[in-house]
Structure 1
Amino acid sequence: MGFMDKQIFRLGFSLLIAFCLALGGLMEPAAALTQEQKLVSEVWRIVNRTYLDGTFNHQNWAQVRQKALEKPLNDQKATYGAIQKMLKSLDDPFTRFLDPEQYRSLQVNTSGELTGVGLQIALNPQTGRLEVVSPIVGSPADKAGIRPRDRIIKIEGISTENLTLDEAAARMRGPIGSLITLLIERDGEGETEVRVVRDRIALNPVVAELRVSPQGTPVGYLRLSQFNANASMELAHAISSLEKKGAAAYILDLRNNPGGLLQSGIEIARLWLDSGTIVYTVNRQGIQGSFESFGPALTDDPLVILVNQGTASASEILAGALQDNGRAHLVGETTFGKGLIQSLFELSDGSGLAVTIAKYETPKHRDINKLGIKPDTAIAQEPITREQIATEADLQYQAALEQLKTNSVMAKKL
């Protein structure tokens, strides 16, 4: 290529870049942006690059950025407000901005410890209402009698109607020993005011007991409350211990488990599966990734999984994987239906951004978002107390024992 050709090539390339930047809605050179504008642009770029829906909720995403930068951003509050407004236009409650405190809190939560009232909460995708997925065992909320499916109407007198999930969680956090008042609505009982004293919450996600079925079979009962960083290791220890004690069958209770870390759900599926696909992930290009099990499983004993409307996210990945691979029989109610995967990004000022980057499908390519996973044996259950779980009052647990008795679950490999 001659000198003149090179010059023309460079000019053409420069014009192409300028044209592409203009299409991207760049208003001014990056160097001229203020720190506040840079943070807005940083969020915009991450969403632009990774968000699952390439139509960005059927809107011009470049124009959204332009609008967000039109108004003066003089302080942190205005900047965070502009970012939240920009993300709200996606109409996805799971793609959300986390201020530095909320970001730190989420990291602590998934690492295994938090401070607060001990509630796992979610926004009901159908109603948009703030609902209790489950109180953490032994937490202040649990002791105060708050139950799964309770709706939180007010926090300290503030309506939750327009609060995001993170704003609601932030309002419930506070110093150990401080008092918080929640207005709770429960089906058939109306509204009740509940006072709770905040405390440190230990997140041990596994309850493990060796039970004996009415037929005399030693049954390992495992209850998993969430998928934090400790869950896979704790469950592996529990299974190994129960195996040594002579467990011949298992009941894995995933009821009111709101999920957590995707990797944790995959690792736990591997504890039960010798081989097979665990989950497919699909990004916005339609490219499928998959996670496989390589074996060996910790046990081949028959397995029944208990699920209900509060079984969500990573819980559904695990239940769907074991159901589709014929490894487990599901008993209970149709699950929550959260089939979206979020990735967490740390921003330059210490805040965070959760972005829906993919959806997941079960090994048989079932898309469960907003649909949930249907159990093999459907058993409705009226709300029961924590003490009644896995007792005679627990109809779903009793149905699981019955299922093991009929031996229609996967038989132990010979």
Structure 2
Amino acid sequence: MNRPSKRAPLFHLALCGGAIAATAAVSLFVPSLTRVRAALQESPKTVVDEAWQIVNREYVDGTFNQTDWQEIRKSLLGKNYTSREQAYVALRSALEKLNDPYTRFMDPKQYEALSSQTSGELSGVGIRLEVSEQTKVLTVVEPIENSPAIKAGLQAGDQILAIDGKQTKGMTVEDASNLIRGDVGTKVRLEVGRQGASKKSVALTRARIELPTVRYALKQEGGKRIGYIRLNEFSAHAADQMRRAIQDLNSQQIEGYVLDLRGNPGGLLQASIDISRMWMDKGSIVRTVDRRGNNEEIGTNRTALTKLPLVVLVDGNSASSSEILTGALKDNGRATVVGSQTFGKALVQSVHSLSDGSGLAVTIAHYYTPLGTDISHKGITPDVKIDLSDEQRQKLASNPKLVGTKDDPQYARALATLQKVALTQPAPATTQQAIQSQK
């Protein structure tokens, strides 16, 4: 889980704790600051020292895992690095002494990937690809809503035969994606094949695309109208997408909700807070504690979009922001939690960009659920525990369309729980209350 640095934000929305923040830390602990700056200028040591300073200033454990952090700095800056990669290796080795897998250095490519992931956007044409098992041909899984691909008429099942004249035979999805991505406003030409039609060439202009992280549907289950929402990640657009999903389902006179957080690794703290407030009218959401013992308790603000019965689905890969949302709903009695024990990540990270385009994630706080539970390495225990067998997991993984259906044992148990525990409220009245609360 990530929290913003209180410095110039790179994104205006918060990561699982906040916006990725740009910092350019300099040495504050040695004589002649100007001389040190000059010596480090254009040197791999610049990034090493920036990262060291951030950890020194923000890391949650003031003892740095019982290590002499000042001595580590001397060692880092005492070495002669012949390349940035060599400096990266030394920095990663120093961070390992903290024994914290979440405090980590990212090279420029890794940092760019994290930035794209948490922003919930990418620059491209908006298609999800796979190499078909049957044909071994690069194939469109689906075009993304409001993307250049949709506007150009691309459809699921279309084959991508060439990208800017380069044949895709034998090409991996990653290689193809790298060719298709590019700067906003630039063009890419795809040769597209479709069953029953002759192949054609399509010119697409790359655009900034909001990635869907929320998927939802109205389900008729045993005579009941159920709103099913699956949240894959807490990106910068997750809260807006969740709001639209709840509002749309409310307007369809549903009688209860299943919120699926299985496989959701977390993301932005602010997104988890905003989404919690959509489901809860009152109560605490989460409490964080930094290395100085400062407590920050974050609560609701009476902006809930619905009061309808709710079941939350979780598993062992529901982590970080997923656990904040789950813990808030569970501890406040707002939802019944169904599924497997969650992952157990109760730490907050701040993410910083460094001067050469690399990045650093540093753990800055510990969080607790509203009832004060520390879920570190333990996770959240569901109210209704149901684990999948290896065979069941494999079946769902190989056929994702079964997720959220009666062939999904955890979803089926969520429905039964909703029937037994939650669907006792008069549906029309509570639905109307939810609609009114949006006005």
With normalisation by structure 1, the TM-score equals 0.73
Kindly indicate whether the alpha-carbon contact (under 8 Å) linking 2:210 and 2:237 is maintained by their aligned counterparts in 1: no
Kindly indicate whether the alpha-carbon contact (under 8 Å) linking 1:274 and 1:297 is maintained by their aligned counterparts in 2: yes
Partner residue, 2:366: 359
Distance 1:406 1:344 in 2: 43
The reply to whether residue 300 of structure 1 matches residue 295 of structure 2 is no
Partner residue, 1:140: 130
After superposing the two structures, state which structure 1 stretch, 357-366 or 35-44, moved more: 35-44
Kindly indicate whether the alpha-carbon contact (under 8 Å) linking 1:306 and 1:400 is maintained by their aligned counterparts in 2: yes
Secondary structure in 1 matching 2:363: strand
Structure 2 CA distance for partners of 1:345 and 1:278, relative to 1, 3 Å: same
Partner residue, 2:288: 281
Give the counterpart letter for 1:378 in structure 2: K
Give the drift of 1:396.
0.8
User: Which residue, out of 199, 203, 224, partners 1:217?
Assistant: 224
Give the drift of 1:295.
1.3
User: Which residue, out of 371, 374, 383, partners 2:378?
Assistant: 371
Secondary structure in 2 matching 1:212: strand
Give the counterpart letter for 2:277 in structure 1: R
The reply to whether residue 31 of structure 1 matches residue 35 of structure 2 is yes
Structure 2 CA distance for partners of 1:70 and 1:285, relative to 1, 3 Å: same
User: Which residue, out of 248, 258, 276, partners 1:269?
Assistant: 276
Secondary structure in 2 matching 1:49: helix
Task: Say what the alpha-carbon RMSD is for the aligned residues.
Answer: 2.9
Distance 1:53 1:280 in 2: 17
User: Which residue, out of 399, 410, 413, partners 1:396?
Assistant: 410
Partner residue, 1:241: 248
Gaps of 5+ in 1: 1-23, 117-136, 146-174, 182-194
With normalisation by structure 2, the TM-score equals 0.69
Give the drift of 1:79.
2.2
Distance 1:304 1:53 in 2: 36
Distance 1:409 1:55 in 2: 51
The size of the alignment, in residue pairs, is 328
Alignment of 1:111-122 (within 5 A): 111-114=119-122
Give the counterpart letter for 1:211 in structure 2: K
User: Which residue, out of 82, 88, 100, partners 2:96?
Assistant: 88
Give the drift of 1:348.
2.3
Give the drift of 1:334.
0.3
1:225-252, Cα deviation, whole Å (9 max, x unpaired): 1110111001100100101010110000
Gaps of 5+ in 2: 1-27, 135-163, 182-208, 434-439
Distance 1:323 1:259 in 2: 17
Give the counterpart letter for 1:34 in structure 2: L
Kindly indicate whether the alpha-carbon contact (under 8 Å) linking 1:266 and 1:318 is maintained by their aligned counterparts in 2: yes
Secondary structure in 1 matching 2:407: coil
Kindly indicate whether the alpha-carbon contact (under 8 Å) linking 1:179 and 1:197 is maintained by their aligned counterparts in 2: no
User: Which residue, out of 115, 121, 124, partners 1:107?
Assistant: 115
1:175-195, Cα deviation, whole Å (9 max, x unpaired): 9969688xxxxxxxxxxxxx9
Give the counterpart letter for 1:318 in structure 2: L
Partner residue, 1:59: 67
Partner residue, 1:159: none
Structure 2 CA distance for partners of 1:336 and 1:29, relative to 1, 3 Å: same
Distance 1:252 1:25 in 2: 49
1:14-47, Cα deviation, whole Å (9 max, x unpaired): xxxxxxxxxx974875514323333322211110
Partner residue, 2:215: 207
Distance 2:293 2:424 in 1: 34
1:103-149, Cα deviation, whole Å (9 max, x unpaired): 22211111123599xxxxxxxxxxxxxxxxxxxx96539x779xxxx
Structure with more relative contact order (C-alpha pairs < 8 Å, separation 6 or more): 2
Distance 2:368 2:47 in 1: 34
Partner residue, 1:407: 421
After superposing the two structures, state which structure 1 stretch, 345-354 or 375-384, moved more: 345-354
Give the counterpart letter for 1:402 in structure 2: A
